Amino acid sequence: MKIVLDSNILLVVIGKRSRYRPIWTSFIDGEYDLIVSEDVIFEYEEILQQHSAPGIDSVVMEILLRLQT
Confidence category of residue 69, pLDDT binned at 50, 70, 90: low
In this predicted model, what pLDDT tens digit does every residue of 40-54 receive, in sequence order?
999 999 999 999 999
Q: How far apart are CA 53 and CA 27, in angstroms?
A: 21
Number of domains comprising the chain: 1
In this predicted model, what pLDDT tens digit does every residue of 16-30 receive, in sequence order?
999 999 999 999 999
One-letter amino acid for residue 2 of the chain = K
Domain containing 32 equals 2-67
Q: How far apart are CA 12 and CA 56, in angstroms?
A: 13
